[in-house]
Structure 1
Amino acid sequence: MLSCCPVDYALNDITEMRQSKGLDWTGDLVADPSPWVTYDQEGMAQLDILVPEAYCAACIGAIEGNFKKLESVKYARLNLTRKRLTVRWDESLNSAKDMMVVLEWLGYHGQPFNRDQFDNLKTDSYQKKLLTSLGVAGFAASNVMLLSVSVWAGADDSTRNFFHWISALIAIPALAYCGQIFFKSAYNALRHGQLNMDVPISLAVILATYISISETIAGGAHAYFDASITLVFFLLAGRYLDLSMRQRARSAAEQLMSMSAIAATIILPNGERKSIKLVDIKLGDKIFVAIGEKIPVDGLIIDGKSDVDNAFLTGESIPDLFDIGDQIHAGGINLTGSLTIKVSATGEDTLLADIIRLMEEAERTDAKYIRLADRVAKLYAPAVHILAAITLLGWMIVGKDFNESLFIATSVLIITCPCALGLAVPAVQVVASGILLRLGILLKDGIALEKLADIDMVVFDKTGTLTLGQPKLINADEISDEAMRVAASLAVNSKHPLSQAIVKAAEGRGLKYSANGNVTEEIGQGLYDEKSQIKLGKRNYAAPESMSIKNDVQAEFYLSIQAQTPIRFAFEDGLRPDAKVTVEKFKKSGLEVVILSGDREAAVKNVADILQIKTHKSGLSPQDKLAFVQTKQAAGKKIFVIGDGSNDAPALIAAHVSMSPGSASDVSQLSADLIFQSQSLSAAYKVWQVAKFSRGLIKQNIGLAIAYNIIAVPIAIMGLATPFVAAIAMSTSSMIVTLNALRLRLKEGGLS
C-alpha cells in the first residue's frame, strides 16, 4: 500500500531500536524533551510532540501502533489535523528522551510541543457570527422577495395579507438575529455619546420593520419586510468581504516569534550538557549549539566556527562565517559546525526580541490610519439623524399625526440609508481584488489600495526583491566540462548556496558526476578532497595566490587542482527580468526610488548603477531600515516598501503600504499588505496603477451617493416617497455604485 510514511516497522523495545541503529541515541538527540513532560492523576508521564511529517492515515497506524507495542506506553494518539502526538507512559520504564528515540527510529522528526506559545490563539467568533448572519439573511431575503413578487403582481387583498404575515414570520426572527451586529454596534456608539454608520442603519431597519408590522396588522397595502431584510443582507455581505480581506493577514510579530529556539543546551561546570528552557538561562551561562539548531541567545562565541544563516537579520541568502570572539544573535540557524556561546542577552533582551517589539509598535501606528469612507461617515451619520428628526417634527407641527409623520421620517431614513455609501469602497475593492488576483497579486487588506494611491516614494530591498535571491554562475563559458565536473563532485557534498549553484550549472550542461566520498568541509572556507588534494572554496582558502585580484561585487569560489592555475567560479544574484523597466516607470511617474539593503556596499552600488537609482544604502540592520522609513514619513513622505526578508518586516509594517514577493519569508509576507506571486517586478507598478484607478472610482462612488441623497432626500422630506419607493431608490443607488465599480474592469487591459 502506498503512503507518505517513511517506515512501517514492528518494534518491540527501545533497546532493539538502539542496537539496530548502532548509535548512542542519548548523545545524538538534539533536544532533551524532559522540560515539557507533565503528569496525570495516576502519575503517568505525558509528552506532546509536534510531528510535521505526518500526513496520512498510514502515518497514524505506523506511529500509534509501534508506540503501543512498548510495555511502558499506556496511551498514544496522533492528531493528524494538528500534527500533534500525545504519549503517556510509565517513566520508571522509559525516559522522555526514549519517546523521541521511537519517533526518530520510525523516520519522523519531532519536537516537544510548547503549549505556552499557543495560548494566545483564539477562534475568531465574530467572523463566524458574521458568516452565519449573512447566510440567514440571504435565505430570509430570497424567500421574502419571492412572496413580494406575488404581491407586486396584483394579488387580491386576502392573498396579499396572508403573504404579508408569512413575510413577517420569516423576516422578524431573521432581522432580530442578523441585525444584532448593527444593533450592538449602534447601542455601544450611543452609550458612549458617539454616532457611527450603524446607527442610521439600525434605525431604518427597526422603523421599517415597525411600520411593516403595523401595516400587516391593519391589513394595509404595503409592508417593507423585503426592503429591511435585503438591506441587512447587502450590508452584511459588504462587511464580511471587508473582514475577510483583513483576516488574511496574521500578526507578523507572532510569526517572527517562531524563529526563537524552544530550548537550549547548557554546558554545566562539570562539562555535562543539559537541555533547559530559555527562561532558565542566565547571563554568563555557556550554551552549546549543534549543527542545524537555532541560535537561542545573544552572546559571544568562545569555541567553534560555523556558517550561520542570518537571513532574518541581513536578508541575504549567503550565510555568514562566525568564529571565536564574534558576537552572535538569537534567531540565526547554525549550518556547518558546533558552537559554544557565552550568554550576553536572553529572552526579551535579545536583538530578535527588539525587532519583534519594533514590529508590534509599527503595527499599532499603522492602525491609526482612518479610511476615506469612515471619514465621510463621521459627517454623514449625524446629518441623516438631524434630517429625519426635522422631518418628524416638521410634519407634526404642520398638523400630521405621529404615525403619518413617523411614516415620512422612516422614508427619509431608508432613502438616506448609507447602503450606497457603505458599498462605495467595498464594491471597488472587490473588483480590484479580482483584477489583482488575475495578475497574481494577493490583496490582504482593502485599505492598502487607498494608501497605495497616495505614495510618493518607493523603497526596494535588493536581495530577493530587485534580484531573484538565487546565486547563479555567470562565467560558466570560461570553465571547461572537466573542471565543472570535478567542482560539482565536491560541491554536491555541501548545502552552501554557491556550492548548490555549481551543482545546478553542471546539471544544466548535462554533465554526469558522482559525489566524491573523500570530501571534508572546512567550516567557513570550502571543501577539500584529501585523496587528490583538490580544494573548492573561498579565495583565501583555495587560491591564496590570487588575493591581489580585487573583487568586491561578485561572490566567488575557486577550484584548486595541484599543478594547475586555480579556476575562478563567479556568481551573481541576477536582477528580476523587468526590474529596470519597473524602476523607470516609477521614476517617470514622479515617484522617488530608493534601495535599502543589508548587503555589501559594492554589491548594492552595482545594482543601483544598473537600475540608475541615485539613493541607495547598504549594510543596514532591520532597525536601520525602520528608522529610515519612520524618519522620511515623519517628514511627510508616504512610502511604498517592497521587501522579501524577515529583516524587512519592521519596515514593511511601518511603511504607508508594503508588498512582498511570493518567494519571501513567512514573516515578510505576513508583514506586507500585498503579495505578488510571479518573478516579474512589474506587479509592483501594476498594483499602483490599479490603486490610482480605484481611488478615482471610490471618490466617484462617494460623489454619486451624495448626489443621490441631494436629489432623493428633498422628495422624501416632502412626503412624496413611501418607504416602498424609498427602498427602491436606495437599492437603485446601490446598483449604480456597484456598476460604476465594475468600470475598473475596463482599465485592466491598459495596465503596463
Structure 2
Amino acid sequence: MARTIAADELGVEFKDAQREAGASPASSRAPSASRTITLAVENMHCGGCMRKVETALLGVPGVAAARANLSARRATVIFDRDAGSAAPLVDALEKAGFKAAELAPETVDNEKDNPARPLLARLAVAGFAAANIMLLSVSVWSGKGGGADDPTHALFHWLSAVIALPVVAYAGQPFFSSAWGVLKRGHVNMDVPISLAIWLSAIMSLYQTIRGTDQVYFDACVTLLFFLLIGRYLDQRVRMTARGAAENLIGLQSQWAHVIAPDGTIERLPSRLVEPGMRIAVAAGERFPADGVIASGMTTVDESLITGETTPRTAAANAIVYAGSVNLGAPVEMEARAAEADTLLAQIGRLMATAEQARGRYVRLADRAARFYAPMVHSLALASFIGWMIAGAGWEHSLTIAIAVLIITCPCALALAVPAVQVAASARLFDKGILLKAPDGLERLAETDVAVFDKTGTLTAGIPSLANGDAIDDATLKAASALAAASRHPYAQAVVQAAKMRFGAVSASSGVEEKPGFGLRRATDGGEERLGSAAWCGVDDAQASSASLWFSRPGAAPVAFRFEDKLRDDAAATVDALTRAGYRVELLSGDRIDAVASAASAAHIADWHAGLKPDEKIALLDTLKAEGHRVLMVGDGLNDAPALAAAHASASPSTAADISQTASDAVFQGAKLAPVVELLATAKKARRMSFQNFAIAFGYNIVFVPLAIAGFVNPLVAAIAMSTSSILVTLNAVRLRTAKLELKA
C-alpha cells in the first residue's frame, strides 16, 4: 500500500523532488491530496537509465514529481491520489524497458538508517576544509616572506587552525567514538592509532602556531580525515547496496491481506497478523501476502522479481505460491502456510544479512593481524620518538616523525582488505539469485576441484512426467488418474497431468484410500483397483524393476507407468563449463540404474553411481577426500543433507522446501543450473582479490614505514599514503560487482 501524504506535509520535499526530477511548470503545483510511493526498479544501471526512468514516470498523468536513486535502484514518485494505483507507473516503466514493483512504506523508511549518509556529510566538510587549508599551506610554502617571523605566515597558520580544529572534532567523530569505545573496555582497534595520530598532529600544530614556528600540519590531519572518510564511505556504500537489494526484495511483500472469516465475510488485516491456516482472497493484480497454497481457483503467477524467472507460472489448486509474487490472472483463494518472518522473502533477507556480516577465515585472519598490529604501531611510533630524541633531533622533530610513523602504520587497508571483497561478492551473487549462508563459504568454494551432483531435483527439474503415456489406453489412464487425483505424490500428480493433457479434465474418485509407502486403492463393484508399487499391485519380482508405478484392476493385467524427470535446460552446458575449467564432475543418486545412466549421458557426466543410500554417498565423498580432492556437493538439501554437510563446500537449489533448513553453504534460485558456475567463478575471483588486497596493504607498509622512521615522510605525505592504500583496497573490491567473470582452470 502506498503511504498517503497531505499537501501541507510535502513542503520542501515536494519542491526538491520536483526540481531534481525536472518537472515541467505545468506540474509545479502541489496537488491538494497527494501521495508518495517508492518503486523498486530492477535494471537501472547508469545515469542515462535514471533519466529514462524519471522521464517515463513524469509522462504518466497525475504525476507531480519523480526522482530516481541509482545506488538503491529505486524511484520515488509524488502523484495525485485520484490517479489511482501504482499500476500505470509500473506499466510506463515496463514500456521504457525497466522492471519495477511498488515497495512497502516500511522498507522505504529503512533508508533513514543508512549509515553512509552521516559519513557523506562529514566527508564533504572534511574535503572542503582540506582544500582551503591546503591553499593556505601552499601560500605559506611558496611565499618569500620572513619565514616563521612573517606576520602573513602567522595569520595563515591561525586561519588554518580556525578551520581545522572544529572540522577535526566533527569529521573525526566516527573514529573517535570507536576508539573511545574499545579503550573503555581495555582493548584497542585500528581507530585508536588513527585517533591518536589526528589529535597529536592537531594539538602539536596548534602549539607550534602559538609559538610562531613553521612546524604546522593542520593540512595533514584534515587531509588524513578526508581520505579516511572516503575509504569508509565507499565500504558503507558497498554494504548498503547489498542491503538495499535485500530490502527491495523484502519490500515486495504485500502489507495487507483480505482474510476470509469462517462465516464468509472478508476482513482486511495487516499481513503481519496473518497466521498459518487462514484463507485469504487475492484479487487479480495483487501480491500474495504470505506463503501458502492455492485453495480454490486457477491463475498465473509472476515471480520474476523473486526467483528471476520471467515466464509466469500457472497455479491451480494446491499449487505453492510465495509472498511478494503477483497474481496476474483471476481472483483466487489461498491458504496461508507461512507469514511475515517465516516467508521465503524473509528467509532470503536473513540469509543476505548473514552473508554480509559473516566472518570467514580470511576475515578472521585480517582481524587478528589488525588486532596485534595496533599495539605494534604504538610501540613503533614510541621507539621512533625515543630513537630520534637520543640522536639529538629535539622533541619537536622527534614527535613529528613519531606522528608520521603513527599515521603510516595505521592498519586500515589491512582491516578492509577482505571484508570489502566479501561484501562485494555477496552483493554480486545476490543480484544473480544466489544466497550465501556460510561465513567461510566463498573461501571453501574457491578451493574445490571436484563437483558432485545429485540427480533428482538438482541435475533434473524434480518434476516427473509420464514417459510411456502413448502405450497406455484411454480407459486405463482415466481410471488410474481418478485414483491418482487423491494423492500429492509426484508420480501420482504426473499421472493426473498426463490425463489432463489427453482429456482436458480429471474426475477424482470417491472412497480412495492411500497407504503410505504402498499406494492408492478403492473398492468397486467388480473388485479393488490399485495404483502404487509393484508389490502393492501384485506384480512379480521379475517385472517389478521395469517401472516406478503400477495400476491393477480386476480381470486385467497390471499396467506399468514409467516416468522421466527431465534435465534442467542448461545441465549439460553447466557440466561442460565445469569440465573445461578443470573440475572432475560426478553424479551420485539413489535412483534406479537406468534412470541415472540416462541422466548422466544427457548431462555429459562420465562418472556416476546409482542406487546409493545417504551413508553410501558420504562414503564416496570420503574416498574423494582421501585422494586429496576438495568436493563441492550440489544437492536438494533435504535427503542429501548428510552429504552436503560432509562435503568441503555445498550448494542447493531453492525448492518448495524451507531453504533455512538446508545444510548448504549457498542457495541458488531459478530453474537454471548455471548459478553453480557463477558461484565458483565469483568465489575464485574473490579469493584472488583478497590476496591482491593483502599485497596492497603489506606492500604499502614495506615501502613507507622505513621511510617514515628514517624521517623522509612528513605527516601530510603519511596521511595521503595511508589513506590512498585504504581507498585502493576498497576500489579493488568494488570491481567485483560488475566484473565479467569466466570460470577457468
TM-score, normalization: structure 1? 0.56
Q: What's the offset of the Cα at 1:684?
A: 1.4
After TM superposition, the structure 1 = structure 2 runs for residues 163-174 of structure 1, keeping only pairs within 5 Å, are 163-171=163-171, 173-174=173-174
Q: What's the offset of the Cα at 1:716?
A: 2.5
Corresponding letter in the other structure for 2:443 = E
Q: What's the offset of the Cα at 1:678?
A: 2.2
Distance 1:580 1:188, change over 3 A: same
Q: What's the offset of the Cα at 1:651?
A: 4.0
What SS does the corresponding residue of 1:586 show, helix, strand or coil?
helix
* 1:737 match: 729
* 1:222 match: 218
Corresponding letter in the other structure for 2:648 = H
After TM superposition, the structure 1 = structure 2 runs for residues 533-552 of structure 1, keeping only pairs within 5 Å, are 533=527, 535-540=529-534, 543-544=537-538, 548-551=542-545
Distance 1:414 1:157, change over 3 A: closer
Out of 408, 416, 419, which is 1:423 matched to? 416
What CA distance in whole angstroms lies between the structure 2 residues aligned with 1:213 and 1:745?
41
Say whether 1:145 aligns with 2:127.
yes
Q: What's the offset of the Cα at 1:572?
A: 2.7
* 2:464 match: 471
Say whether 1:407 aligns with 2:400.
yes
* 2:298 match: none
Out of 656, 678, 701, which is 2:648 matched to? 656
Q: What's the offset of the Cα at 1:676?
A: 1.1
What SS does the corresponding residue of 2:572 show, helix, strand or coil?
helix
1:392·1:405 contact (CA, 8 Å) conserved in 2?
yes
1:242·1:426 contact (CA, 8 Å) conserved in 2?
no
1:604·1:616 contact (CA, 8 Å) conserved in 2?
yes
* 2:522 match: 528
Distance 1:141 1:712, change over 3 A: same
* 1:313 match: none
Corresponding letter in the other structure for 1:222 = F
Corresponding letter in the other structure for 1:425 = V
Q: What's the offset of the Cα at 1:595?
A: 3.8
2:571·2:673 contact (CA, 8 Å) conserved in 1?
yes
What CA distance in whole angstroms lies between the structure 1 residues aligned with 2:134 and 2:438?
41
1:448·1:673 contact (CA, 8 Å) conserved in 2?
yes
- Identity, in percent, stands at 36
What SS does the corresponding residue of 2:508 show, helix, strand or coil?
coil
What CA distance in whole angstroms lies between the structure 1 residues aligned with 2:165 and 2:399?
22
Out of 658, 680, 686, which is 1:688 matched to? 680
* 1:506 match: 499
The C-alpha deviation readout for 1:26-75, integer Å capped at 9, x for no partner, is xxxxxxxxxxxxxxxxxxxxxxxxxxxxxxxxxxxxxxxxxxxxxxxxxx
Q: What's the offset of the Cα at 1:222?
A: 0.8
What CA distance in whole angstroms lies between the structure 2 residues aligned with 1:539 and 1:618?
17
Distance 1:380 1:613, change over 3 A: farther
Corresponding letter in the other structure for 1:167 = V
* 1:203 match: 193
What CA distance in whole angstroms lies between the structure 1 residues aligned with 2:653 and 2:364?
26
1:456·1:592 contact (CA, 8 Å) conserved in 2?
yes
What CA distance in whole angstroms lies between the structure 2 residues aligned with 1:617 and 1:206?
65
* 2:250 match: none
Say whether 1:487 aligns with 2:483.
no
1:601·1:619 contact (CA, 8 Å) conserved in 2?
no
What CA distance in whole angstroms lies between the structure 1 residues aligned with 2:633 and 2:187?
37
Distance 1:672 1:385, change over 3 A: farther
Corresponding letter in the other structure for 2:519 = Q
Q: What's the offset of the Cα at 1:413?
A: 2.8
Say whether 1:454 aligns with 2:447.
yes
* 1:616 match: 609
* 1:674 match: 666
What CA distance in whole angstroms lies between the structure 1 residues aligned with 2:541 and 2:626?
46
Q: What's the offset of the Cα at 1:367?
A: 7.8
1:525·1:541 contact (CA, 8 Å) conserved in 2?
no
Q: What's the offset of the Cα at 1:618?
A: 4.2
The C-alpha deviation readout for 1:122-179, integer Å capped at 9, x for no partner, is xxxxxx9xx8977665554443434334433449555433322322442465443233
1:597·1:617 contact (CA, 8 Å) conserved in 2?
yes
* 2:87 match: none
Q: What's the offset of the Cα at 1:675?
A: 1.5
2:360·2:440 contact (CA, 8 Å) conserved in 1?
no
2:122·2:170 contact (CA, 8 Å) conserved in 1?
yes
What SS does the corresponding residue of 1:685 show, helix, strand or coil?
helix
The C-alpha deviation readout for 1:599-631, integer Å capped at 9, x for no partner, is 56665565456543425364433x665565567
Q: What's the offset of the Cα at 1:677?
A: 0.7
What CA distance in whole angstroms lies between the structure 2 residues aligned with 1:235 and 1:184?
23
What SS does the corresponding residue of 2:543 show, helix, strand or coil?
coil
Distance 1:540 1:644, change over 3 A: closer
Corresponding letter in the other structure for 1:527 = R
* 2:563 match: 571
Corresponding letter in the other structure for 2:218 = H
Q: What's the offset of the Cα at 1:477?
A: 2.9
Q: What's the offset of the Cα at 1:688?
A: 1.4
What CA distance in whole angstroms lies between the structure 1 residues aligned with 2:416 and 2:227?
14
What CA distance in whole angstroms lies between the structure 1 residues aligned with 2:576 and 2:126?
56
Distance 1:481 1:601, change over 3 A: closer
2:161·2:218 contact (CA, 8 Å) conserved in 1?
no
Q: What's the offset of the Cα at 1:522?
A: 4.6
Distance 1:530 1:736, change over 3 A: same
What SS does the corresponding residue of 2:609 show, helix, strand or coil?
strand
What CA distance in whole angstroms lies between the structure 2 residues aligned with 1:739 and 1:203?
23
After TM superposition, the structure 1 = structure 2 runs for residues 77-156 of structure 1, keeping only pairs within 5 Å, are 139-154=121-136
* 1:179 match: 179
1:460·1:642 contact (CA, 8 Å) conserved in 2?
yes
- CA RMSD across the alignment: 4.2
What CA distance in whole angstroms lies between the structure 2 residues aligned with 1:177 and 1:135?
17
Q: What's the offset of the Cα at 1:411?
A: 1.7
TM-score, normalization: structure 2? 0.57
2:453·2:586 contact (CA, 8 Å) conserved in 1?
yes
Q: What's the offset of the Cα at 1:725?
A: 2.5
1:245·1:444 contact (CA, 8 Å) conserved in 2?
no
Corresponding letter in the other structure for 1:208 = I
Distance 1:137 1:612, change over 3 A: closer
What SS does the corresponding residue of 2:461 show, helix, strand or coil?
strand
The C-alpha deviation readout for 1:192-219, integer Å capped at 9, x for no partner, is xxxxxx3x54223223223223434654
What CA distance in whole angstroms lies between the structure 2 residues aligned with 1:408 and 1:480?
94
Say whether 1:711 aligns with 2:693.
no
After TM superposition, the structure 1 = structure 2 runs for residues 361-400 of structure 1, keeping only pairs within 5 Å, are 373=366, 384=377, 387-400=380-393
What CA distance in whole angstroms lies between the structure 2 residues aligned with 1:225 and 1:696?
34
Corresponding letter in the other structure for 2:162 = F
2:126·2:225 contact (CA, 8 Å) conserved in 1?
no
Distance 1:159 1:413, change over 3 A: closer
What CA distance in whole angstroms lies between the structure 1 residues aligned with 2:534 and 2:623?
41
Distance 1:372 1:456, change over 3 A: farther
Corresponding letter in the other structure for 1:231 = L
Corresponding letter in the other structure for 1:203 = P
In the alignment of these two chains, the number of paired residues is 493
* 1:212 match: 202
Corresponding letter in the other structure for 2:203 = I
